[in-house]
Amino acid sequence: MNRITLTSAALLASVSLAATAQARPMTPEDVTKIEAVGSMAISPDGSRIAYTTASLPDVTEGEENGSFTSELSIATGPDMARQYLPEDISPGAVDFTPDGRMVTFLWAKDEEDTAVWGIPVDGGTYVKLAAVEDTGVRSYRFSPDGRTLYLLTGPGEDAQRDAQSEGGFTARVYEEESRAARMFAASVMMDGEIDENPREIDLPGFVSGFDVSPDGSYAVVETAPTPLVDDSYTKKRVNIVDLTSGTVRRVIETPGKIGDVEISPDGTQLSLIAAVDMNDPAATTLHLVNVASGQFRALNAGAAEAVVDTDWMDDGRLATIVHVGVDALMRVYNADGSVAQEYDPGELILTSVEAEGGRVAVQADAPRHPTELFVFENGDFNRWTSHNEWLSEITFGEQRPYTYAATDGQQVEGVLILPIDGVPAGGAPTIMNVHGGPEAHESNGWQTAYSKPGHVAAGQGYFVFLPNYRGSTGYGVDFAKQHQGNYTDPEFRDIVDAKRALAEEGITDPDRTGITGGSYGGYASAWGATYYSDEYAASVMFVGISNQVSKFGTGDIPYEMYNVHSRAWPWDDWTAMLEVSPIYYADRANTPTLILHGEEDTRVDPGQSLELYRSIKIRRPDTPVRLVFYPGEGHGNRMAASRYDYNLRMMRWFDTYLMTGDRDAEMPEPRPQLAENAAGATIPEADEED
């Protein structure tokens, strides 16, 4: 995989080639219209691929606000797909029956709980296949013969709680009232009737996922001792459970986080993406597990890469999606763990893989399109779906990897998006778009979203740089651990070093560099607005950390933060923890700062944003600062209107302070300027009195 550092001349040439005679730059209104492929499944004979397309209501055209909905389609070839369900049905978890005659999905009809439904692939109406009284189905799997549906459901009604609530007794005991999910085996009727009395299977702990072996004798069940998010990160384990007796045959004693787990066609092995130890920030290493003994071994330990998804092929080989820095590839392993072949998908960023019926399908995005469905045939990845046809109207800036040397010599990579109109003398205004985690990474694929300025910013004359600073995945476990026990440095210094490298090449205007990001990226943005305030002309912080002391007591992942980030508790050194908190440096804050947060965030408490706002407001009263809360939103915005509002506010803040370079400019109006047809864009005139 080639990594290059761009010179200013190369960048200018690239911009000239990129700014072709297409119609217009991208806008925040365009971002609201983006569709992407969601879940997918291949029929048993490989002839069909069922997939969902996810989209939001277009609030810019007056559609009613809401969250994501999906549509079910079945594809039989490139651009050969048809929709299978009415528009008012939003299906999830698509699959096929073992005989391939029906596509199955999860759906909650009207006021009913979520159930398993199916629709014949050759035409006909949808029918309910399985449900459990008083609770919804969360996931499901068929037995190999198709006669039984295994259902993972919610805990069911709590009669005492319901009765007390009706009487006004609604107090909630924090972290003590969770109830376990349940698993059932339901007979499949296929005649419009359902099994009214499915058999319950006792399971250990709190179950979050499962799969059924090819011979139907056992299930792979993912459990944790409690449903707390912290336990799902630090204590989740894979269990081999006998489906007849419910007894646990084996527990796979991996030491840290776990990710995707798949069962081999002969049922003797599992592929398991897992951490290598308790302090490994993410599950990125591929393991093979012996089902009989529970022993496991890593196949790519120490490699500068991250395995993100796997699936077994019919011939017993394992297809894996691997991210290497900002690039991706598909690697095929033999059953013994040796590498059979690697395939380079070119500009595609592969994100997931499914294998069935002799066919391999992947989901992938690229710099100029969001996630689409591709089929792997004869060494090539052939595109089968084409959403967002309006993207052909957009003038895109050139996008490519960029590598630089940090202060201590460490090579750091990221993704650079160039402005569509070229680089002015003295460099262009630049937005550092910082990912969260930090155990995540940016790829050289689709990089525009409600919270990611991407090509909207490029269309307005900005450079956008997305750094994979230390702590990121995709470069091996050692790189991901470099930030541990030392919040902010070198991780956030890497971002300043990126700015200086880009400025030295004449790409970035050092006086017009801004920063934005969410969660841990919000922490970076708050640090940039305070400790590194002289470096950044504007900051947009989203659901970010401002006080590492209070963060410990108000978030939901204290052990995860200790294990893979801080490696110390606040009481080990209170002062040290304050010194890596942005509020500690609020007296330095001369960066205009926009702070945004969901009011229902349980990961990073909204008080983190309030603390930073109040600290800057009082200690630096002349510095522009604004705090925006989103009611009903959590650690990231789900609703279409909240997302659109966010994108408008972010870009307007950068236009006001970053594009102009004027830190003393008047703050924008509190309400955003909505699209003409958006609900709320105009104030209705009052009716005249008679």
At 119, is the secondary structure helix, strand, or coil? strand
pLDDT one-digit tens code per residue, 433-448: 999 999 999 999 999 9
Which pLDDT belongs to residue 37? 97
Average pLDDT (115-142) is 94
DSSP string across 367-379? TTEEEEEEEEETT
pLDDT range class, residue 191, cuts 50, 70, 90: confident
The pTM assigned to this predicted structure is: 0.93
Q: Is the pLDDT of residue 20 over 70?
A: no
> How many angstroms separate the CA atoms of 393 and 395, rounded?
7
Share of the chain above pLDDT 90, in %: 87
Convert the pLDDT of each residue in 595-638 to its tens digit.
999 999 999 999 999 999 999 999 999 999 999 999 999 999 99
pLDDT of residue 177: 86
Look at 59-73, 293-307, 449-463, 673-687 and tell me which has the smallest mean pLDDT. 673-687
| Residues 6+ positions from 497 with CB-CB distance below 8 Å | 404, 405, 406, 407, 412
Torsion 151-155-159-163 (CA) sign? negative
Name the pLDDT band for 218 (thresholds 50, 70, 90).
very high
Who's near 486: CB < 8 A, 6+ residues apart? none
Name the strand (E) or helix (H) holding 18.
Answer: helix 8-18
Strands 349-356 and 339-343: unpaired
* Location of structure tokens 């937005």: 431
pLDDT for 48: 97
> pLDDT tens across 661-689, in order?
999 999 999 999 998 888 776 665 555 44
- pLDDT of 162 strictly over 50: yes
23: confidence class by pLDDT, cuts 50, 70, 90:
confident
Average pLDDT over residues 286-301: 97
| Range 156-163, long-range pairs (CB < 8 A, 24+ positions) | 156/132, 156/182
Helix, coil or strand: residue 646: helix
pLDDT at 683: 60
**Contact 596/613 with Cβ under 8 angstroms?**
no
Six-digit token string for 309 = 């998804």
- Mean pLDDT of the residues in the chain: 93
* pLDDT for residue 469 is more than 50: yes
Q: What pLDDT, on the 0 to 100 scale, is given for residue 190?
A: 74
- Distance from C-alpha of 518 to C-alpha of 679, rounded to nearest angstrom: 27
Q: What is the pLDDT of residue 686?
A: 53
pLDDT in tens, 223-251: 999 999 999 999 999 999 999 888 999 99
Per-residue pLDDT at 205: 87
| Per-residue pLDDT at 4 exceeds 50 | no
509-519 tens-digit pLDDT:
999 999 999 99
Confidence of residue 192 (pLDDT cuts 50, 70, 90): confident
The answer to whether residue 11 scores a pLDDT higher than 60 is no
